[in-house]
Amino acid sequence: MKKILIPTKLNPVAKNTLESHGGYNVIQDDIKDLNDLIVEHSDTHALIVRSEKITSEIIDLLPDLKIIVRAGAGYNTIDTKYARKRGVDVMNTPGANANAVAEEVVALMLADARHLIPGDISCRQGKWEKKKFMGTEITGKTVGIVGFGAIGQLVAKRLSGFEVKILAFDPFLKVEKARLFDAVPVDLKQIFEECDYISLHMPENDETRGIINKSLLGLMKDGATLINCARAGILNEDDFRILKKEKNIRLLNDVYPKDEAGEKPIADIANIMLPHLGASTVEANFNAAKRAATQIIGLDDKGIASYIVNRDVPEGLDKAYSELAFALSYLCKGIAGGNQNVEVLETSFYGDLANYKDWLLVQVLAALSDEFDRSSGYDAAIEYLKEKGVEYFNRETDSSKGYGNSITVDVTTAIDAANFKRISVRGTVTEGNMMISRINDFDKLYFEPTGTAVLFIYKDRPGVIGKIGQALASNNVNIDDMRNPHDLTQEYSLALMRVSQMVSNEVVVKIAKEIDALHSSSITF
């Protein structure tokens, strides 16, 4: 019998599901101290937790531990890297709490707009302060949703009855998808400039940490409200503290660096703060518990790795190919012009890489979207693409083409409702180094994607390379490496240069105008 330890308050459906399946001895106890439970049940095969902190020390006390499941989306309380070293798979259950969080956002908006919390306190004190608690209405306001995944979409849906104007930012959001929720896709800057309410729904990772800072907060309308039911780390609290005084902006908050009692640094700037109640509904608890149990069964019985967040490079795969998949996709994004609306994603994994296509897709997707965590699993990637309305195809490869172990990534983006741009990039690994071999119709590049690169596509004629080099030199930029192939028609040329330092967009645009380029990009890998 495999022992499952649930040291948290969780719907009994997890215990019942595991025991009904058979082969499991489930211990559920939310009363005893976690450390005491760990010592008592050192033969634990799998842990199901919520906000409990699972450290390397706890993992070391469980020599038989193979699985940790976070019954919820966030897993920042688990030492995932150390778990990996110990051969322990860490899973989460994203989406199980989506509706709960969406409803909390609406509740916070209403509570703040009508001063429900201070009004209740005042009334219980025997006061009658109607004038003091004059409120505002949500109806007719402009609401910005940052991150239009499962939760963001449900926030839009729940607010539809209030006749609000909804602006949405998401790197994958298509116009057609936004229209289903009466939302308008815009950039992040427009969200902060125009919205009365801004609701955050993005993960915390290296790309998003501190992203809501003074440059964005400074754009907010006087008296506008920011709602953070996502992750604490995405908001720069110090910057908000300064801007709150200057612009009287408001903060409704449900997330903290640690889910525990004690004073919160954010208390002086939050107009409403709750003890991380986003997922705390009976229904969300049931959904997360059920999924946690079925994911353990799936991994044990069939090896189905659903939502594993800490898998390292699979055995047999050179890590360089993982980095290659990410770099190729990142290059596509850079050529497309950043956060364009991705319509179609296609991949081709040649040679032995076909055996790792599911895992490599995750790396491709993580490069395209700052929202998608690189440590997520294949199931999460497919669900994310479906959620964003992106068509995905993995082409069956033909070994006779002689591409060896190589990867092709094709991205089709929507420039506007009627115009599309397709970018295709292929690469391989040579002597341990990543190499880009093709960009669209420009072949045999063998360019290493490192550092900063500038790219220009232009109608072939003499003297263009000299002009580019001179312009870069005048801005104290050296060319470290260069490729200059023709396309298949011999009509156009590509200038791909690795340069000594970052080149500003202004300089790139100026060079592009001077050489009459069809396309220009600056990309830092």
| Per-residue pLDDT tens digits for 182-209 | 999 999 999 999 999 999 998 887 778 9
The pLDDT of residue 61 is 96
Reduce the DSSP state of residue 520 to 3 states and report it: strand
Residue 415, pLDDT above cutoff 70: no
Fold of 98-273: Rossmann fold (3.40.50)
CA pair distance 478, 468, nearest whole angstrom: 11
Distances (CA, A) of 371 to 234, 241, 367, 512: 12, 26, 10, 31
CA pair distance 8, 10, nearest whole angstrom: 6
Q: What is the mean pLDDT of residues 350-359?
A: 90
Q: Does this chain's domain 2-96+282-302 share its CATH topology with 319-524? A: no
Do the beta carbons of residue 377 and residue 305 sit within 8 Å? yes
Other CB atoms within 10 Å distance of the CB of residue 350: 20
Other CB atoms within 10 Å distance of the CB of residue 396: 7
Residue 312, pLDDT above cutoff 70: no
Residue 478, pLDDT above cutoff 80: yes
Residue with tokens 């760990």: 38
The pLDDT of residue 501 is 86
Q: What is the mean pLDDT of residues 99-112?
A: 96
Residue 419, pLDDT above cutoff 60: no
The pLDDT of residue 359 is 87
- Please, what's the b/e burial string for 151-182 (b: 16 or more CB within 10 A of its CB; e: otherwise)? bbbbbbbebeebebbbbbbbbbbbeebbeebe
Residue 95, pLDDT above cutoff 90: no
Q: What is the mean pLDDT of residues 289-311?
A: 85
The pLDDT of residue 68 is 97
Digit-coded pLDDT (tens) for 126-142: 999 999 999 999 999 99
- Please, what's the b/e burial string for 233-256 (b: 16 or more CB within 10 A of its CB; e: otherwise)? bbbbbebbeebbeebebbbbbbbb
pLDDT above 70 as % of the chain: 97
Domain range 319-524, CATH architecture: 2-Layer Sandwich (3.30)
Digit-coded pLDDT (tens) for 499-519: 988 888 899 999 999 999 999
At 338, the pLDDT band (50, 70, 90 cuts) reads: low
At 490, the pLDDT band (50, 70, 90 cuts) reads: confident
At 14, the pLDDT band (50, 70, 90 cuts) reads: very high
At 239, the pLDDT band (50, 70, 90 cuts) reads: very high
Q: What is the mean pLDDT of residues 451-455?
A: 90
Options 3.30.70.1060, 3.40.50.720, 3.40.50.300, 3.40.50.620; CATH for 2-96+282-302 is 3.40.50.720
CA pair distance 446, 69, nearest whole angstrom: 43
Which of the two residues, 415 and 43, has the higher pLDDT score? 43
Which of the two residues, 227 and 280, has the higher pLDDT score? 227
Q: Are strands 452-459 and 519-524 parallel, antiparallel or unpaired?
A: antiparallel
Residue 280, pLDDT above cutoff 70: yes
CA pair distance 222, 245, nearest whole angstrom: 10
At 339, the pLDDT band (50, 70, 90 cuts) reads: low
Residue with tokens 């070994």: 399
At 259, the pLDDT band (50, 70, 90 cuts) reads: confident
Where do the domains of the chain lie?
A: 2-96+282-302, 98-273, 319-524
Residue 121, pLDDT above cutoff 90: yes
At 389, the pLDDT band (50, 70, 90 cuts) reads: confident
Candidate from 72-81, 234-243, 461-470 with smallest mean pLDDT: 72-81
Torsion angle (degrees, nearest 10) of CA 448, 449, 455, 460 = 30
Residue 449, pLDDT above cutoff 70: yes
User: In which element (H, E) is residue 273 found?
Assistant: strand 272-273
